[in-house]
Amino acid sequence: MTTGIGEERAQGARGIAVLDGPQGGKQATSDGAHSAWQARLGLRARQIIAFLTRDAVRVPLAVFTLSRVYIFLLGAITMQINNILPPVAALGYYMPDLTGWQHYLIQPWRNWDGHWFALIAQEGYFEKPTTAFFPLYPLLLRGGSWLLDGQIELAGVLIANAALLGALFLLYQLIQLDFPRAVARRTILYLALFPTAYYLGAVYSESLFLLLSVGSLYAARRNRWWVAGALGFLAALTRSHGILLLIPLAIMFVRQQGWHPRRWRANPISVALVPAGLLTYMVYLRHLWNDPLIMLSAQKGWDRYSANPIETMRAGWTAINGCAVKDWNAGVNFCWADQALQHPGLTTLRDMNWRWGLSESNFIEFVATIFLIVVAIVALRYLPLQYSAYLAAGIILPLWSPSAVHPLMSMHRFALALFPVFIVLALIGKRRPVHGAIVLVSALLLALLTNMFASWLWVA
């Protein structure tokens, strides 16, 4: 009995010795490493969740996601149910139809200027009219196309939407420096649902310019003037309107630094980087075309001419027509206004002839311009000077160069870069019924204009 008990104890001791040997050590080390990896993974997951649930991230991300899903669905539905008009060529170049999922999710967003941007990215500034489009966005398109194996339209949509997301983040932060958080929330929501907001995700430079301009002003507010100047430099390489950033930046510089140069803690050369962006493009055009101002004469390709703002508004009013000529040779008129009054409803809205007549009537452009002027007047009362001055300049500048075809061409598209518009709307939308009305009207008009744009009807 004693011997048996001793043997059992010896076997148990040997078993313990085995567990404490090399194999047991490896198992313990493996279990410890696995537990540490799980702990690190859990910590990183909690950090990501905490980051995404921060108000500064959660609100812009939600606005971006919901608005983009809505707009992409509108485009896909248009491609499925509409009779799409033939594409308009750019300098004799036509775009082939995309296939598969890109036919529904990418093709609707490459129309009109998107074709020009893609052409410049592929061929460069090979003809005079191409110089009307500033170079930064086509450069990014070329790089994105190289990364995506030549899928230039996909690259354009990805770049535009990434820039929009960044712009919403920065704009949300910028507005909260002067207004309550609720105003900032409504501002980015109204921007994302504006009737022409589909341009912010199309193969256009609107969202890139919005990102750079808002980023420049936000950096200036944070007293980071070299960053503000660098972003302003890039904005001036993106759109001709970039030069207007000089106005709010100069106002902010003087307010922060004072009037006396001896007291300036920031270098005013940082602000001078904004016109340096335009000069860089002019130097390039001088090298390429021997004419640094060729982008101005290139505007004649869109029948633009010089006039003062009063003459432009008069021309815009005169050009409004309730009946559009569909066939000049046959003398066929289509009166969209009469049909809208006599047969209001979804059937009229879906009628391609009705939407074509509306797009050619100049009515949308005129109403949008009056809306912008009214908002600019209100902004003088309720917005900081740098924002109201920037808004006024952004409205007045295009009124000096109307088009003979559409005198107020693209005014409602230009509004997207003028973010003070949406701050004013956010202040007006403080009451819930007003807020609901703004969202509803914007969403409905966005659906109509998105359908028209994706169908190759002229919008802006």
Q: Which residue has the higher pLDDT, 160 or 25?
A: 160
| Residue-level pLDDT at 34 | 64
By three-state DSSP, how is residue 151 classified?
A: coil
| Residue-level pLDDT at 5 | 45
Strand partners, 325: 333
> What's the pLDDT band for 345 if we cut at 50, 70, 90?
confident
Q: Which residue has the higher pLDDT, 48 or 59?
A: 59
Inter-residue contact 340 to 334 (CB < 8 Å): no
By three-state DSSP, how is residue 90 classified?
A: strand
Residue 79: exposure state from Cβ atoms within 10 A (0-12, 13-18, ≥19):
middle
What does the pLDDT look like over 410-456, one tens digit per residue? 999 999 999 999 999 999 999 999 999 999 999 999 999 999 999 99
Round to whole Å and give the CA distance between 429 and 405. 35
| Residue-level pLDDT at 26 | 55
| Residue-level pLDDT at 352 | 79
Closest by alpha carbon to 357, among 326, 331, 387? 326
Strand partners, 335: 323
Instruction: Find where tokens 């996909």 sit.
Output: 154
Closest by alpha carbon to 397, among 377, 415, 422, 382? 415
Q: What is the mean pLDDT of residues 74-87?
A: 86
| Residue-level pLDDT at 85 | 81
Round to whole Å and give the CA distance between 320 and 453. 20
Type of residue numbered 95: M
Type of residue numbered 114: G
| Residue-level pLDDT at 439 | 97
Round to whole Å and give the CA distance between 177 and 181. 9
| Residue-level pLDDT at 350 | 77
| Residue-level pLDDT at 2 | 45
Q: What is the mean pLDDT of residues 391-416?
A: 93
Inter-residue contact 249 to 235 (CB < 8 Å): no
> What's the pLDDT band for 259 if we cut at 50, 70, 90?
confident
Q: Indicate whether 38 pLDDT > 80.
A: no
| Residue-level pLDDT at 326 | 52
| Domain range list for the chain | 50-320+362-454
Q: Indicate whether 1 pLDDT > 80.
A: no
Q: Picking from 32-41, 103-112, 301-310, which range would have the lowest pLDDT averaged per residue? A: 32-41
User: Which residues, other chains included, contact 303 with Cβ-Cβ below 8 Å and sequence gap of 6+?
Assistant: 403, 404, 405
Mean pLDDT, the chain, as a whole number? 87
| Residue-level pLDDT at 56 | 86
Inter-residue contact 186 to 426 (CB < 8 Å): yes
What does the pLDDT look like over 127-174, one tens digit per residue? 999 999 999 999 999 999 999 999 999 999 999 999 999 999 999 999
Q: Which residue has the higher pLDDT, 361 or 237?
A: 237
> What's the pLDDT band for 31 if we cut at 50, 70, 90?
low
Round to whole Å and give the CA distance between 101 and 150. 17
Round to whole Å and give the CA distance between 305 and 401. 5
The torsion angles phi and psi of 326, rounded to 5 degrees, stand at -95, -35
| Residue-level pLDDT at 411 | 94
| Residue-level pLDDT at 41 | 72
> What's the pLDDT band for 32 if we cut at 50, 70, 90?
low
| Residue-level pLDDT at 199 | 97
CA distances from 203 to 141, 187, 207, 213, 395 (A): 9, 24, 10, 18, 23
What does the pLDDT look like over 171-198, one tens digit per residue? 999 999 999 999 999 999 999 999 999 9
Q: What is the DSSP string of 301-366?
A: GGTB----HHHHHHHHHHH--SEEEEETTTTEEEEHHHHHHHS-SHHHHH-HHHHHHHHTSSHHHH
Q: Which residue has the higher pLDDT, 319 or 375?
A: 375
What does the pLDDT look like over 274-325, one tens digit per residue? 999 999 999 999 999 999 999 998 988 888 889 999 999 999 998 887 665 5
Other CB atoms within 10 Å distance of the CB of residue 5: 9
